[in-house]
Structure 1
């Protein structure tokens, strides 16, 4: 009988007894937090891990204890960097069994990427959209893509008419919500396009974790978020909100990427090591909003993203 995991499960518990020898894995954002822990536990179970990071010196220091880790430079706020990193991997020709799109930014002040996109949408979604699609040929049969999303997708649906806030007043968490919804929709459409060749995609919410991701948040904003999460009624009778450790936060990524049945997680959104329920209720904590897994919305985002980056996949 398969084991049951939940909110408190750690990466080591989820992968207990799992042998990943011979498997090749790519993890983005391996310079801190969840990315480092994800790379660590996968390598500890025998996987050959390639880690991508914007700051290679920082990543080298953070991953110094991970045996056999290969590092590549990837700045998701630059399409040129995303394309160059992908092209190097394609030229090497080594397939991957799992790609975890972990890197991202959160609640940044208003800004633009070097390509002119709003910072959070450009980094969290468009950078990964180009990078992942350019290495799609390297996904081996039976492989998976895991996109790191967030409960923050509940803050906002995507805005296909004004993705860069050219006409909309900028709000840090609305922009974050748009980008995290885009992460789910990208997984939904990537899964639809690739499942016939045995490649599946899913999106995950790691949980509330205090990492470098929140470095732009003031203490006031942090407390407001904590209060809102604490006061929300837990969906499905779950316990009240509590912070996760980094090993607990990274557990859903490795669960969805390695342990869960592919057909169960493909095209879905996962949290606390299970497939989330569809919830359209502001008073409930947990679950995924219907707009984030809407197949037609996913197709529309894909088309708009291709238009924005000037590349068809």
Structure 2
């Protein structure tokens, strides 16, 4: 697939000329950063967006710009409560959406945490795996029937998936020394694998799933990092690697959200289904010269099926 979009493209670039009137889209994590910009861009083109957030007061304040854009375009915006670190909250949110009964054209799993101190969710799962993967796993599968034929699931992953494959023998670091970025890597690999298996299970009804890397962006995602850790990360991002690859450039929030909306409503479904995308294109697999390429273990269908089964066991539900 060829297009005119790339790393510098913004949400407005990607959606220029696109009419989303009548499209209903769920976006998680709309209390800051990429989630707010994703929702704003979609409603600005007429979409009806449901935004999910843990702290509704914070989300209401952060999304004033979204409501203004919806009023101007004829779109709409509403909020629902969702705490991905609590399966009780996830199930309550899903139950509410099912009871409402209105279908979705797209679900964008944007919410997440990064490099947290070692901890547990309300259900006893390692914080990053439980929040980034298992919370979305339960939410999406519970409301999968609401995705219309022709619909899409977009999971926000990260180049951080390159830190680690999943570890199905010790997902909660009970026998492994905890390392924040290893845990983050496991959860981001899980986001990709979830998309791979969801796509396999639903493509026969014309529902596709993909995972995206937004790029390097300074958002609230770094809130769990010390200044020393953040400085180290920034240095690694802007220092040219030994193979001569150019330094990684930070993106603005509108540039970071561009791949999400591109994969959700612009890119051909057959091109992005069961794939990993960045900079508004499909990533190369195991391209060691590209820092933002995708590791083959994150797209492996057997790995994806094994994660699905393990996730079902962990949350106590079959989908």
TM-score of the aligned structures, taking structure 2 as reference length = 0.94
Once the two structures are superposed, the pairs formed by residues 1-313 of structure 1 within 5 Å of their partners are: 3-65=3-65, 66=67, 67=70, 68-231=76-239, 233=241, 239-279=246-286, 281=288, 284-313=290-319
**Offset of 1:30 from its aligned partner?**
0.3
Task: Please tell me whether the aligned partners of residues 234 and 285 of structure 1 are also in contact (alpha carbons under 8 angstroms).
Answer: no
**Offset of 1:94 from its aligned partner?**
0.4
Task: Please tell me whether the aligned partners of residues 96 and 139 of structure 1 are also in contact (alpha carbons under 8 angstroms).
Answer: yes
Q: Distance in 1 between matches of 2:19 and 2:190?
A: 32
Find the residue that maps to 1:121 and give its secondary structure.
helix
* Aligned residue-pair number: 311
**Offset of 1:280 from its aligned partner?**
5.7
Q: Distance in 2 between matches of 1:304 and 1:231?
A: 38
Find the residue that maps to 1:72 and give its secondary structure.
strand
Q: Structure 2: give runs of 5+ residues left out of the alignment.
A: 71-75
The 1:121/1:232 distance shift into structure 2, 3 A limit, reads: farther
Q: Distance in 2 between matches of 1:226 and 1:41?
A: 28
Task: Please tell me whether the aligned partners of residues 240 and 246 of structure 2 are also in contact (alpha carbons under 8 angstroms).
Answer: no
Q: Distance in 2 between matches of 1:3 and 1:277?
A: 16
Task: Please tell me whether the aligned partners of residues 144 and 200 of structure 1 are also in contact (alpha carbons under 8 angstroms).
Answer: yes
**Offset of 1:286 from its aligned partner?**
1.6
The 1:88/1:107 distance shift into structure 2, 3 A limit, reads: same
Find the residue that maps to 2:196 and give its secondary structure.
helix
The 1:294/1:232 distance shift into structure 2, 3 A limit, reads: farther
Q: Structure 1: give runs of 5+ residues left out of the alignment.
A: none
Find the residue that maps to 1:19 and give its secondary structure.
coil
- The alignment's C-alpha RMSD in Å is 1.6
Q: Distance in 2 between matches of 1:250 and 1:78?
A: 26
Task: Please tell me whether the aligned partners of residues 209 and 244 of structure 1 are also in contact (alpha carbons under 8 angstroms).
Answer: yes
TM-score of the aligned structures, taking structure 1 as reference length = 0.96
Task: Please tell me whether the aligned partners of residues 156 and 212 of structure 2 are also in contact (alpha carbons under 8 angstroms).
Answer: yes
- Which 10-residue stretch deviates more, 199-208 or 59-68? 59-68
Find the residue that maps to 1:140 and give its secondary structure.
strand
Q: Distance in 1 between matches of 2:176 and 2:241?
A: 31
Task: Please tell me whether the aligned partners of residues 37 and 250 of structure 1 are also in contact (alpha carbons under 8 angstroms).
Answer: yes
